[in-house]
Amino acid sequence: MCGICGALGSVDDSIVQAVQVMNETQTHRGPDAGDLFVEDRRERRVALAHRRLSIIDLRPEAGQPMTDPDSGNVIVYNGEVYNFEELRKELEADGETFFSKSDTEVVLKGYKKWGEGVLKRLRGMFALALWDRSKERCLLARDRLGIKPLYYTEKASPSGGKLFLFASEVRSLLSSGLIDKKLNPTGLSSYIWNGFVAGDETVVRGVYSLPAGTSQWIDAEGKVEATNRYWDFPDPSHKGSLEKLQHELQEAVKLRLVSDVPLGVFLSGGVDSSAVAALAARNGVADLKTFNISFEEVEYDESPYADRVAKSLGTDHHTIKLGQSYFKKHLLEALEGLDQPTFDAVNTYFVSRAAREAGMTVALAGTGGDEVFGGYKSFLEIPSVARWGKLLGIFPNAILKAVSDVACRVKFGKAGAVPPQVRWGKLFDVLSARGNPLKLYQSFYGLFTQSFYRELLATEPSSTTHGLQDAFYKHLEDGIQGRELLDGISLVELSTFLGQRLLRDTDTASMAVSLEVRVPLIDHEIIEAAFGLQTDERFKDLPTKRLLRELALSELDPDIFDRPKAGFVLPIDVWCREELKEMVTDLLQDESLAASIGMNSNTIQRLWQGFNEGAPGLYWSRVWSIFVLLWWVKRYNLSL
């Protein structure tokens, strides 16, 4: 796992220096080595830089930027291609020779043989930039699910002409000194709704994320020539089988156990992480190490379940206890690790830190099991509410609003400083979606009611539809057309909650401590096999993930998993009222800071008051999301 960055177009010496600064800013992503390549032809330059976290082939020969001695092509690459040995044998049979044992060189040589078609042959997670010297253009690409990030911006060069900059992190681009530190109103609108930015625009104006499963060609003048989506979710006619799915589950974990450095498994004791640990154990891993975070607050602590799984599998298990004082002591470091504001990444930061301190460089996680196999309540609730929404859609909004208000008062009683921001409080939003599954999903899982969301913003929400950036919303709406509803919900979960939040948070938080996290349950072969099943096969006995349990956990006692679902959540609810109260209060009461980013300070303070008073239907995530946003924009000095 690594960090990459670079510039194309009018790249003079000052831009090369800026790229070097960008690269140093990403040292945490690759503390083992760093280097720079500069191509100077026809008064235009290409600068590519790389920070290395050595995982496969630890020798200098595997370092980057890597140049192919035959073609002169150069690559900077972040990620892991797990089928690289298979591809290497194919290339060797065709006469290719290799100077390293790395997957990076396989990608570089594969491009020489297959061109852009190499992307469809790669099984893994990656973001790359490959300079084709003979064609004088650069290929950017990102893996199918968007596990590895890649950000870019286009602007005028200080010396004239166009300039295209890219990096693994938004903060790296900011560090260049070439980007105006302006908050993106569209990114802000999306963040307030979701607690993360959902779409290709980031929270920084003019900085974009290359979409998952997409490639982009940049010419030597810094101009975008073409953008191509080389992968998308299988269409509804795609057919699969249980045998195929079981094989791909086993193969996906097996491939991710290849490492030249210490490797372990995050084990919460839930179905997904236990499935990964069990599949790893089946592959005969000796002395498999597993890690779990426990809490002083017993109601949040699932470590006994992880202990049972670890004992059943015979792993070398480590439990790390996390308390308020430790969290407060290291909170600033966790926040410093955030590449964009998000309300959830600190969870992953602390478990990643614990694994790294225990000597691990690579960790496997169960991320994605809920989205693929139907582990969330959304798979039950949205179909049910969609039916009611269509039936009640004949009534005008005024009637729906009146009925919703009465129901909310019956459920919660008189509202406090802030009306309820959970399901019953959102009843009008849900009913007014009139059965539209995407709007229903966003109404259910948005942080705030639509009315309070508008109160938080000083101006009208910008270029978003139900919290999703307009182009992203349309892509999702097109993607679920013609699918059975449960398949559509899975696609939305994988594209939004997973793709725009969990994967981004996991990458940022783990790389902040120089840890590589591998996520086998969203291997694209598993996704394609799962989407090819009949709905009743894939989603039977919702939301227990019965199919995953049968395929991966049949050897373990089912009683371990027959319990209410609980995600990995830090006890921030408690800590915000105790150890962190002063810190949170200071930021939430900063009127000038709120105004500088287009938020209503009075509304924020009402939110904080309601939380401290224990207002019904007001969870910690609402307060925490605003705190993290204000901290981040203050840290990086952004304003509208």
465, 610 Cβ separation under 8 angstroms: no
Instruction: Give the model confidence (pLDDT) of 281-300 as tens digits.
Output: 998 777 889 988 887 666 66
Q: What is the DSSP letter of 201?
A: B
Q: Which domains does the chain have, with CATH numbers?
A: 2-229 (3.60.20.10), 242-374+500-560 (3.40.50.620), 571-640 (no CATH)
Q: Which residues contact 70 (CB under 8 A, 6 or more apart)?
A: 112
User: Would residue 125 be called left, alpha or beta, if left means φ above 0 and alpha means ψ between -120 and 50 degrees?
Assistant: beta
What b/e sequence results for 585-619 when a residue is b if at least 16 CB atoms lie within 10 Å of its CB, and e otherwise?
eebbeeeebbebbbbbbebbbbbbebbbeebbbbe
SS3 380: helix
Angle at the Cα of 614 (from 612 to 615), degrees rounded to 5?
110
Rg of the chain, C-alpha, whole Å: 24
* Class of residue 578 by CB neighbours under 10 A (exposed 0-12, middle 13-18, buried 19+): exposed
User: How, if at all, do strands 263-266 and 224-229 pair?
Assistant: unpaired
SS3 596: helix
Q: What is the pLDDT of residue 41?
A: 74
Catalytic annotation, residues: 2
Q: What is the pLDDT of residue 42?
A: 67
Q: Cα dist. 210→198, 202, 313 in Å?
A: 13, 10, 40
Q: Which helix (H) or strand (E) holds 479?
A: helix 470-480
Q: What is the pLDDT of residue 460?
A: 83
Q: What is the pLDDT of residue 532?
A: 96
Q: 0.85 cut: is pTM over it?
A: yes
264, 355 Cβ separation under 8 angstroms: yes
Instruction: Give the model confidence (pLDDT) of 417-467 as tens digits.
Output: 899 998 889 989 999 999 999 999 999 999 999 999 999 999 888 899 999
88, 11 Cβ separation under 8 angstroms: no
Say how far apart CA 198 and CA 464 lie, in whole Å.
9
Q: Which residues contact 226 (CB under 8 A, 6 or more apart)?
A: 216, 217
Q: Which residues contact 542 (CB under 8 A, 6 or more apart)?
A: 374, 379, 380
Q: Which helix (H) or strand (E) holds 475?
A: helix 470-480
Say how far apart CA 635 and CA 640 lie, in whole Å.
15
Say how far apart CA 318 and CA 142 lie, in whole Å.
34
Q: Which residues of the chain have pLDDT under 70?
A: 1, 42-43, 296-300, 566-570
Q: What is the pLDDT of residue 1?
A: 67
